[in-house]
Amino acid sequence: MRITCIYYGKYLKAGASIVTSMTQFANPQIINPRLADLPDYPFERLRGLLDPLAPPAALDPIALSLGEPQHPYPDFVGEILHANRHLYGKYPPVAGTPEFRQAAADWLIRRYELPAGMIEADRHIVPCAGTREGLFRTAFLAVPPEKAGQRPAVLMPNPFYQCYAGAAIAAGAEPIFVSALAENGFLPDFAGLDEAILARTALVYFCTPANPQGAVASLDYLNDLIALSRQYEFTLVVDECYAEIYNGAPPPGTLQACAAGEAQDLSGILVFHSLSKRSNVAGLRSGFVAGDPDMLTLYRRLSEYGGNPSPLPVYAAATALWRDEDHVVANRALYVEKFDLAERVLSNRFGFYKPEGGFFLWLDVGDGEAATVELWTRAAIQVLPGAYLTAEDGVGDNPGNRYIRVAMVHERAVMEDALARIAQTL
């Protein structure tokens, strides 16, 4: 097993970070020094790589770098927003509306077959304006000044969502990246870490289905991870934003694993769900966090000071989306069709496999950054180098160097063209 414990500045190429040194400021003493450890976001790095280069003029560019769904969302979203437009003049409550919380609770119970009474709308659900905001804020709840007499650690998979690492750094913790590679089924072995690291772990971020590899954690894996969190007394935060996009069986959920225990204990457990991928409304900025009611009380309290609650018309539209399954079934069928197409075009090349969940391809192309440049300059296809989503391991290797991430977010005709260009170019 490989883990990564690094100073973040070493993760970036020379000159890649916007904030590389506090000395660039006229008065660096007034700047929070932790900002120097934040890397550029992957898309900033991608712009730096591709902006100086021109795609072929004869081809229409196709962006497959950003996980922004292009499928249609239900017509009723616009209708509800318009019908409730008079509510834009009101301050929205941080806790959301009772109707939103109940719709989210009902969906969790229905989706994961949870026992009656396990999830109560007013105790176990808090909305967030997109789950990135909530995932980031959680670190400020869960990371103490020290753990086991040392600087706290925050564990996360490698590859990782940059929000996890940014939250750890901002909260004063050390981000530790645990390899999620092909040889371990793209599922990190947190339990295999050194005892000294686990003892000072305050928070673990985990994502299932995984971004970008599409791996789905089994109930046994989730049960073991929950048991580890109880053994070492860390907060477990599970990002389940891709849970409704899958091939085959529905991915198990963390609350489902908790429900299997006799006590149905949610202490120290938080799960995040979003409408961005499920319902193709990334711009609506609506999701929720569920789990430990004591932690959610603190989450609401922190949100009162620095939260960004959704407008009331958005809560109304989101409530309807959580109550409707027809559009979700239709959306999932579109992704299944496109992954079948990808299998026909790319099978037996670039380490292709059909992911269990999510909407990304994670392709082994030998040199991800070089392939990204080649695809842009020869085929007008924009993808994301895998190295921009991964941290170097302890010996200076980046496990994402060989990969590119391809977001299968466009309609079938566009994806058919894009996949053909990828196959021809690489």
Say what the pLDDT of residue 262 is: 66
Using one digit for the tens of pLDDT, what is the confidence trace for 407-421?
999 999 999 999 999
Look up residue 350 and give its two tokens. Answer: 């670039």
Write down all domains in the chain, each with its CATH number in brackets: 41-67+328-425 (3.90.1150.10), 75-324 (3.40.640.10)
pTM given for the model: 0.93
Q: Are 383 and 367 in contact (CB under 8 A)?
A: no
Say what the pLDDT of residue 147 is: 98
Say what the pLDDT of residue 158 is: 96
Using one digit for the tens of pLDDT, what is the confidence trace for 41-59?
899 999 999 999 999 999 9
Whole-Å CA distances, 160 to 13, 391, 394, 400: 18, 8, 16, 11
**Which residues 6+ apart lie within 8 Å of 289 measured at CB?**
125, 126, 128, 131, 134, 138, 270, 271, 272, 296, 299
d(Cα 418, Cα 414) in Å, to the nearest integer?
A: 6
Using one digit for the tens of pLDDT, what is the confidence trace for 356-368?
999 999 999 999 9
d(Cα 65, Cα 359) in Å, to the nearest integer?
A: 12
- 255-274 average pLDDT score: 91
Say what the pLDDT of residue 139 is: 97
For the chain, the C-alpha Rg in angstroms (whole number) is 21
pLDDT at 15 over 70: no
Using one digit for the tens of pLDDT, what is the confidence trace for 159-197?
999 999 999 999 999 999 999 999 999 999 999 999 999
